Amino acid sequence: MARKPKKKEIFALGNEVVVEGALLAGCTFFAGYPITPSTEIAEGMAARLPLIEDGVFVQMEDEIASLGAVIGASLAGRKAMTATSGPGFSLMQEHIGYACMAEVPLVIVNVMRGGPSTGLPTNPAQGDVQQARWGTHGDHPIIVLSACDVQDCLNMTITAFNFAEKYRTPVILLLDEITAHTREKIVLPRSDELTILNRTTPAMPPEWYVPYEETMRGVPPMPPLGSGYRYHVTGLTHDEHGYPTSKKSEVNALMHRLFRKIDQFFYDIHLVETIEVEDAEEVIIAYGCVARSAKLAVQKAREDGHKVGLLILKTLFPFPRPYVEKLARQCKKIIVPEMNMGQISREVKRVNNGRTQIITLNRVDGQIITPLEILKKVYKG
């Protein structure tokens, strides 16, 4: 009767699957603070990390402290992460900036809930999208990913760690309350099926090590603390030796390298999924749980003979410009449904640059946008 599972199948919450993904990616350190609707991630980590070699879970006194501890652990050579939600994410902005400046690889999962302020703790929203991009002060590059279903939670968590390690940058994974709190069946991959990336470490003797040296990729090698490569880590603008500087040439070189290390790898970082876009005359651009509503809407519309396609954004920032541009040239209409007052549609409009009609569909009442609402926009505009 029952199918024999070949690999390990589990029926789990999005949040629980984030834990599985992180452990598969090699995460051995988690610091966090309880906040709905992300807490299952912390609870899962608290149970699992002491069972693995050198695993550490610590519950800190607040979210600022959590990200501080994660940065410390990452500098000490660990793959480290934290998870939070709206109010906690606001508190983390200070250390996100530090991690950008000092180039500390780490992963932050933000399970979006209704805001602003305490808002709607148990309802979904997508209001933290622009905050994830611009939340910390100063000009900085950052990678923001999103996941739309439980399988995606696994894949994108692993991807987040890979990007963090490869580009020495904080990576923010945006989930929403629905994705985090939906249970589904997923198949856990075996570790030999996965591509896991690790940070590069210095390959020269310590005396010749220059911590923030200009390299081809723009990503300097990173030694763990205590390995013999002593250097200075700071949140101040620094020269290639890591020492604070305010010399304009050195500051300029640093800032441009920080941007370049992300900018020149757009083709690697931009992740999207397309459904029925080849012949589409109208396209829906969605992310997170809304993408699932859009999938059903596209299916229904196609059954009715409408040529509708769907672009699911997995990478939100750097914004997947080439994919959106192509659709803007191809389609008569682009519909952007999202659970905020227009945060990704702002990016879509910027890229569209007046080429085609952009229709926004916004909902901020703590409820998911239904397939029916999207269909209405498809039919009526």
Partner 1 sequence: MAKEYPLNRFEIRLSGLGGQGILTLGKIMGQALALEHGYYVTQTQSYGPEARGGASRSDVVISSYPISYPKTQNLDVLVALSQEACNLYFRNLKINGLLIVDNFMVEQVPTNSYVGLPFTKWAKDKIKVIQTTNIITLGALTYFLPFMNKNSVLKTLKQIFPAKIIEINVKALNLGFNQAKKRYKDIPERWLSS
For partner 1, the binding residues (CB under 8 A) are 1-3, 5, 9-11, 36-37, 121-122, 149, 177-178, 181-185, 289, 292-293, 295-296, 299, 368, 370-371
Closest by CA position to 41, among listed 55, 26, 23:
23
- What does the alpha-carbon distance between residue 239 and residue 241 come to, in Å, rounded to a whole number? 5
Torsional class of 141: left (φ above 0), alpha (ψ -120 to 50), beta (otherwise)? beta
- Nearest distance from C-beta of residue 302 to partner 1, angstroms: 12
Please identify, using beta-carbon distances, which residue of 13 and 70 lies nearer to partner 1. 13
Please identify, using beta-carbon distances, which residue of 9 and 281 lies nearer to partner 1. 9
Please identify, using beta-carbon distances, which residue of 137 and 185 lies nearer to partner 1. 185
Burial 195-219 (b: 16+ CB within 10 A, else e): eebebbebeeeeeebbbbeeeeebb
Please identify, using beta-carbon distances, which residue of 47 and 204 lies nearer to partner 1. 47
- Nearest distance from C-beta of residue 144 to partner 1, angstroms: 23
Q: Is the dihedral of CA 238, 239, 244, 248 positive or negative?
A: negative
- Nearest distance from C-beta of residue 179 to partner 1, angstroms: 8
CA dist list (Å): 41 to 3, 18, 35, 308, 367: 29, 7, 10, 36, 23
Q: Long-range contacts of range 40-44, CB-CB < 8 Å, 24 or more positions apart?
A: 40/13, 40/15, 40/16, 40/180, 41/15, 41/16, 41/83, 41/109, 41/111, 42/83, 44/15, 44/16, 44/18, 44/19
Please identify, using beta-carbon distances, which residue of 5 and 50 lies nearer to partner 1. 5
Please identify, using beta-carbon distances, which residue of 25 and 336 lies nearer to partner 1. 336
Instruction: Write phi, then psi, for 172 (nearest 5 degrees).
Output: -105, 125
- Nearest distance from C-beta of residue 240 to partner 1, angstroms: 49
- Nearest distance from C-beta of residue 49 to partner 1, angstroms: 22
- Nearest distance from C-beta of residue 114 to partner 1, angstroms: 11
- Nearest distance from C-beta of residue 216 to partner 1, angstroms: 42
**Rounded-to-5 percentages of helix, strand, coil across the chain:** 40, 20, 40
- What does the alpha-carbon distance between residue 233 and residue 131 come to, in Å, rounded to a whole number? 26
- Nearest distance from C-beta of residue 372 to partner 1, angstroms: 8
Which helix (H) or strand (E) covers residue 197, if one does?
Answer: none
Both tokens of 215, joined, read 């390299």
Please identify, using beta-carbon distances, which residue of 101 and 368 lies nearer to partner 1. 368
Please identify, using beta-carbon distances, which residue of 79 and 181 lies nearer to partner 1. 181
